[in-house]
Amino acid sequence: MPQIHELSSTLVDQIAAGEVIERPASVVKELVENAIDAGSHEIDIIVEEAGLKRIQVIDDGSGIANDEVTLAFKRHATSKITDRKDLFRVHSLGFRGEALPSIASVADVVMVTSTGGEGTEIHISGGQTKTQKPAEARRGTDITVTDLFFNVPARLKYLKSLNTELAKIVDIVNRLAFGHPDISFSLANNGREMMRTAGRGDLLQVIGNVYGLNKANKMLAIKGKDADFKVSGYVSLPELTRANRAYMSVLLNGRYIKNYALTKAIIAGYGSKLMVGRYPLAVVNIEMDPLLVDVNVHPTKQEVRISKEPQLSEVISEAIRRQLANQNLIPDALSNL
């Protein structure tokens, strides 16, 4: 048996990257979540070849202080939580301090960041810092990732077609936009605009930007709450359905989550109004005390554990049930949209 030894930090980062950075869309998700956490108003995402050639995310958020830039790329270094008690009250999308070191360990990264005034430009490739120098920049962060998975050939091979990878990027940006109607997002691939939201705080407008105006015009506003949960959003009229569940988004305190029970609760709200095998379009935002949800279940943070999940399901179903019943009473309520 060889001797036991500690792995190098670069190798540890690469192992972590295996969990967090599965494909180009994972890089986009992590970078955009960082931009959201930084309090940005405008986030521009530019990709080439579905992110395989280049992923760039430009934000107008807080930026990173010059003397913290090196730390931002260290594993388990974060500005978002400090102690155990924070872990149960996570208000930000990030908190694990894993994304930047993971991405930098499997790609080439150039980041220009400034808190206002002179900022920093750092270039890291395969986990090794190449250069770090002062840079003129406006407040915010501009990060460019190229050569993704250059040192992880197996991961590269496993990727699907460019179209599939691009669809996954569009999907994640759409859902992040649903959770943040007050932020203006734009996404372009190979110079072609894929989506853009106005950032005026109007969720129905974001739904229109993403799914088209004619679909937004067939959505009903829902609202519901109880002692623990506040639910709001839009669901489609029973006449507007899809053959799969991909058009239902559940966001918990601004975080897009994958949760089968809550998706079922949306469908249950329609009762017998949906045809078998048809699913509605829906964007459901849930506000709740972070204490009631454990986001530290999976590295990508898309799976979470919610206490009182059956109770939350009922709030969602009931909000939809009530709105659809109202709709039947006032058939031309749509004309007000």
| Residues at the interface with ligand ADP (CB under 6 A) | 30, 34-35, 38, 59, 61-64, 72, 78-80, 94-100, 141
Applying CB under 5 A, the span of 94-102, 154-162, 231-239, 305-313 interacting with Mg ion comes to 94-102
Binding positions for Mg ion, 195-224, rule CB under 5 A? none
Residue among 306, 294, 288, 307 nearest 225 (CA): 288
Residue among 140, 132, 196 nearest 170 (CA): 196
- Is the torsion defined by CA of 157, 161, 165, 168 positive or negative? negative
Residue among 49, 300, 31, 38 nearest 143 (CA): 31
| Closer residue to ligand ADP (CB): 109 or 251 | 109
Return d(Cα 12, Cα 14) in angstroms, integer. Answer: 5
Which of 16, 38, 43, 99 binds Mg ion (CB under 5 A)? It is 99
| Closer residue to Mg ion (CB): 218 or 301 | 301
| Closer residue to Mg ion (CB): 102 or 236 | 102
Nearest distance in Å: CB 269, ligand ADP: 34
| Closer residue to Mg ion (CB): 99 or 222 | 99
**Residue 189 binds Mg ion, judged by CB under 5 A:** no
Return d(Cα 295, Cα 30) in angstroms, integer. Answer: 15
- Is the torsion defined by CA of 17, 21, 23, 28 positive or negative? negative
Q: Which listed option, Mg ion, ligand ADP, none, makes contact with residue 61 (CB within 5 to 8 Å by class)?
A: ligand ADP
Q: Beta strands 42-48 and 54-59: pairing type? A: antiparallel
**Residue 141 binds Mg ion, judged by CB under 5 A:** no
| Closer residue to Mg ion (CB): 14 or 34 | 34
Binding site for Mg ion (CB under 5 A): 34, 94, 99
